[in-house]
Structure 1
Amino acid sequence: MANYHNPVQHLKYLRQSLSQNTEAIGFFMSAGCPLSVSMPEGEWPLIPDVENLTIYINEQLKDNEKYAVLSTELSKAGKNNKNIEDVLSFLRSLLSVSKGGDVRGLSEKDLEGLESCICKEIVEKLDVNLPGQETPYHRLCKWVRSIDRKVAIEIFTTNYDLLMEQALEDLEIPYFDGFVGSRRSFFDLRAVGDNLIPVHWSRLWKIHGSINWYQEEDKHQKKVFRSSEIKKDASHLIYPSHLKYEESRKMPYLALIDQLNQFIRRKSSFLILSGYSFNDGHLNDTIVNALKANPTAMVLGLMYDRYEKKSETGGTIERYPKAYRLAENQHNLNIWTFDKAIIGTNLGRWQRTQNSDSDDPDLLRFVDMQKDEKTDASEDLIKLGDFSVFTNFLKKIIGPGKEETNV
């Protein structure tokens, strides 16, 4: 096993891969990305992570007696009450068997009311705007529009906020998200499956739903629609749970999961993951199975922070063990943390070597050298796992003359 990887060499490969206009390039954005948006003092984060979102919702619903019952039953079942996704999964599992009687002291009406309350609180917290037009999201969008492409850029996200939509529209970048129409946009399965959209339109696939998706009864059928505005009291299509495949909700979810699968299976496809911690088993299976079927594909996971973190006992433990185990067995799934990487199934620390590439100033600016004050030893760090740093890397690829040089 190699004990080091040359950061300049791999940054050069990344730059070359992202400079292609004829290959399938995609981004997978998850919960960590909104944390990279700079905010005024006291206002960060723009959107909290899952744990802090759960704390917020628990506080908002602390006086709700039915929610207290749900929380008690959640603990009895050994579920994680610090993760709102687990709370929703548990609630919906109870709702699926609540017809005709109470379940764990809660009626079907109670459970439906709780689901509506939770989703309403999520919408309230996530219905925010990006501060200005110089955010990491805008930098990604500037890169998207920087050259004419023969293959459309595809952006997959598990986030239900509208930050990506805002950035695309701020920069007037056309995109398709699976919905068509202007009054009450509906999901067009044929357009999604047959790829009937112009190449210059980027694709935005919101795998876990969105705060502006909702469900309505239409001619005695439940259908999914998208609104241009947030509907406060709608039946929101937010589904971070194992019941994503439930009959009335499954069409968008399964179609968009299939888009992810098809993208990775395309020849020489390149997908970059940002802000994703590999805690969704179904998504992990989709990614890895597609990689196994297509050896020419490459998925690069850019992970925030170092390879290990301190444990409660004072030692160290792996920060993203699920990601590491997958990458150790799948040659075309690479994982980069700040201080180490798994590349081609080989774990190694970042360490520069002396060669002709080592003096590339555009790449060296993304290699941080840190010294240990006690031992005077130095280490190289690549911090592209910070979505803000990564989008600065994209901005540097654009180069002068292709985009605004004064931003």
Structure 2
Amino acid sequence: MSFHDPIRQSKYLRQTLSQDKKPVGFFISAGCPLAVTMPEGKWPLIPDVAGLTRYVSDTLLEEKDVKDGKLRSIGASYTLLIEEIKKTGKTNANIEDILSFIRGMKQISVGATDVRGFTDSELSDLETSVCGKIAEKLKVSLPDNKTPYHKLAKWVHNIERDCPIEVFTTNYDLLVEEAFEYIGVPYFDGFVGSKQPFFDLRAVEDCLIPRHWSRLWKIHGSINWYQKNKKDVYRSTSLEESDPCIIQPSHLKYDQSRKMPYLALIDRLNKFLRQNSAVLILSGYSFSDEHLNDTILNALKANPTAMVIGLLFGTLTYKEEKTEGDVKTEKTFVRYEQALKLAENRSNLSIWTYDEAVIGGLRAKWRPSKTEYDADENIANAVKCIVEKVKDAEGKETEATTTRYEFHLGDFSLLGDFLQELIGKEQFKVEENGN
């Protein structure tokens, strides 16, 4: 039976991150804010997609006021919208499905009397309201300066590299920016200017930025990006703009799309992975975005020297029990089915879950090649040795034990600890700007 050695992979990752000439990037996705420790009763800092969907739906359904002669309130329009989405077969549409559906109807609403019972004006109001509620929930700050975001920023700040670190994210929040600015990490996000920073397409495509600046690419937009005059995209720091913020979870063909950040930033991801020996580390990403998956897979096919490592939270599989009468059955499900399928067919795409990994196309459990290893080898105590008592046929524990190993770098919080150990826990002190 084959196994993957977590100690060996930990050393490989450490060596990869220490090579100053290798292009290294991080991909921060929706699961990462869940790893931020919060005061009791305040977790999560930002909800997952399901939680965000519930928040937007609950708050919009409460908006009953009819203003400016509108035929329907936002709440009534949103109710009708959900009914129309269900007619397409999506019974549990998330917030990204909802926003994509609105924009799909908006594309054909210009010049039409109505689309599925909505006027162009009503669709615009719905888009503004949905984006506004998303931004409302995402206008948060990190609770302290010891979060995994800060540890990532510290690692970036304390390494000298010939190739700049590139951070890609599908998140709309400003958590990466907050941590980078607290630590003092210079970065470029595609915008230039002071009063009203605008998106500089040439600088993004040609990467015309100082080498010591890190790159931050927000592929799906941000709560502080806005479109001016239905054309130009700019970044604001006020978060009080009347125009809807640019949140792009869908992959529609936007008008003048080359002037929009989305295609330029997707292209930036593709270019990064086509660099010789590039390594991209994914955290908080569940491989549920088909367009991003295609971008990553096509780049990996074109460049066999590149490597993508998906650090996934939790176990690869999970079990559910079902009782019918006196009969109890147990069924195993794959938690990351799409990720498993892609990794098994692409040797330079690896996925590391707590209990299993797919490396070089081979799926196997974790088990160190030696039972004795020191703390320097097990960085941040990421490898967990779990001893459990064996149960008999009736489910009762016996005296016999079994040992299994787990590798927890799929937890963004522990990944932050891993990066912190690479630079030394007490190597430096950071002071807030202006102090």
TM-score calculated relative to the size of structure 2:
0.89
Deviations 1:183-240 (A, max 9, x none): 11111111111111111100000000000000011xxx61110012212422211011
Q: What are the ranges of 5 or more consecutive residues in structure 2 without an aligned counterpart?
A: 63-74, 323-329, 392-400, 431-435
Corresponding residue number in structure 2 for 1:126: 138
Deviations 1:140-166 (A, max 9, x none): 000001121111000000000000000
Corresponding residue number in structure 2 for 1:156: 168
Q: Name the CA distance, whole Å, in 1 between partners of 2:279 and 2:91.
A: 34
Corresponding residue number in structure 1 for 2:158: 146
- SS of the residue aligned with 2:130? helix
Deviations 1:80-133 (A, max 9, x none): 544100111111111111122211111111111111100000000001000111
Corresponding residue number in structure 1 for 2:148: 136
Amino acid corresponding to residue 360 of structure 1 in structure 2: D
Identity %: 52
Amino acid corresponding to residue 380 of structure 1 in structure 2: Y
Q: 1:331 to 1:318 in 2, by over 3 A?
A: same
1:384 aligns with 2:383: no
User: Do the aligned partners of 1:142 and 1:403 also contact (CA within 8 Å) in 2?
Assistant: no
- SS of the residue aligned with 1:389? helix
Aligned pair count reads 398
Q: Name the CA distance, whole Å, in 2 between partners of 1:368 and 1:340.
A: 13
Q: Name the CA distance, whole Å, in 1 between partners of 2:321 and 2:300.
A: 35
Q: Name the CA distance, whole Å, in 1 between partners of 2:370 and 2:389.
A: 24
Corresponding residue number in structure 2 for 1:359: 373
Corresponding residue number in structure 2 for 1:26: 25
Corresponding residue number in structure 2 for 1:242: 251
Q: Name the CA distance, whole Å, in 2 between partners of 1:55 and 1:400.
A: 39
- SS of the residue aligned with 2:389? coil
* Higher CA-based Rg: 2
Q: Name the CA distance, whole Å, in 2 between partners of 1:112 and 1:6.
A: 53
Corresponding residue number in structure 2 for 1:17: 16
- SS of the residue aligned with 1:205? strand
Q: Name the CA distance, whole Å, in 2 between partners of 1:311 and 1:285.
A: 31
Q: Name the CA distance, whole Å, in 2 between partners of 1:32 and 1:137.
A: 13
Corresponding residue number in structure 2 for 1:172: 184
Corresponding residue number in structure 1 for 2:49: 50
Q: Name the CA distance, whole Å, in 2 between partners of 1:337 and 1:400.
A: 26
User: Do the aligned partners of 2:226 and 2:244 also contact (CA within 8 Å) in 1?
Assistant: yes
1:59 aligns with 2:58: yes
Q: Name the CA distance, whole Å, in 2 between partners of 1:309 and 1:61.
A: 35
Corresponding residue number in structure 2 for 1:214: 226
Amino acid corresponding to residue 289 of structure 2 in structure 1: D
Q: Name the CA distance, whole Å, in 1 between partners of 2:413 and 2:57.
A: 30
Corresponding residue number in structure 2 for 1:394: 419
Q: Name the CA distance, whole Å, in 2 between partners of 1:323 and 1:77.
A: 26
User: Do the aligned partners of 2:170 and 2:220 also contact (CA within 8 Å) in 1?
Assistant: yes
1:230 aligns with 2:239: yes
User: Do the aligned partners of 1:80 and 1:87 also contact (CA within 8 Å) in 2?
Assistant: no
Q: Please state how far the C-alpha of 1:311 moved relative to its aligned partner.
A: 4.5
User: Do the aligned partners of 2:152 and 2:416 also contact (CA within 8 Å) in 1?
Assistant: yes
User: Do the aligned partners of 2:127 and 2:244 also contact (CA within 8 Å) in 1?
Assistant: no
* Structural mapping, 1:235-274, within 5 Å: 235-243=244-252, 245-249=253-257, 251-274=260-283
Q: What are the ranges of 5 or more consecutive residues in structure 1 without an aligned counterpart?
A: none
Corresponding residue number in structure 2 for 1:197: 209
User: Do the aligned partners of 1:80 and 1:86 also contact (CA within 8 Å) in 2?
Assistant: no
- SS of the residue aligned with 1:300? strand
User: Do the aligned partners of 1:120 and 1:233 also contact (CA within 8 Å) in 2?
Assistant: no
Counterpart among 88, 96, 120 of residue 99 in structure 2 = 88
Amino acid corresponding to residue 420 of structure 2 in structure 1: K
Amino acid corresponding to residue 288 of structure 2 in structure 1: N
Deviations 1:18-71 (A, max 9, x none): 111111000001000000000001000000000000011111012300000001
Q: Name the CA distance, whole Å, in 2 between partners of 1:80 and 1:152.
A: 44
Q: Name the CA distance, whole Å, in 2 between partners of 1:154 and 1:400.
A: 23
- SS of the residue aligned with 1:97? helix
Corresponding residue number in structure 1 for 2:339: 323
* Structural mapping, 1:91-130, within 5 Å: 91-99=102-110, 100-130=112-142
- SS of the residue aligned with 2:82? helix
Q: 1:163 to 1:269 in 2, by over 3 A?
A: same
TM-score calculated relative to the size of structure 1:
0.95
Structure number with the bigger relative contact order (C-alpha 8 A, sep ≥ 6) is 1
Q: Please state how far the C-alpha of 1:373 moved relative to its aligned partner.
A: 2.7
Q: CA RMSD in A?
A: 1.6
Q: Mean Cα displacement is larger for which, 175-184 or 310-319?
A: 310-319
Q: Name the CA distance, whole Å, in 2 between partners of 1:98 and 1:351.
A: 57
Corresponding residue number in structure 2 for 1:338: 354
Q: 1:302 to 1:354 in 2, by over 3 A?
A: same
Q: Name the CA distance, whole Å, in 2 between partners of 1:57 and 1:276.
A: 22
- SS of the residue aligned with 1:242? coil
- SS of the residue aligned with 2:410? coil
User: Do the aligned partners of 1:216 and 1:235 also contact (CA within 8 Å) in 2?
Assistant: no
Amino acid corresponding to residue 152 of structure 1 in structure 2: P
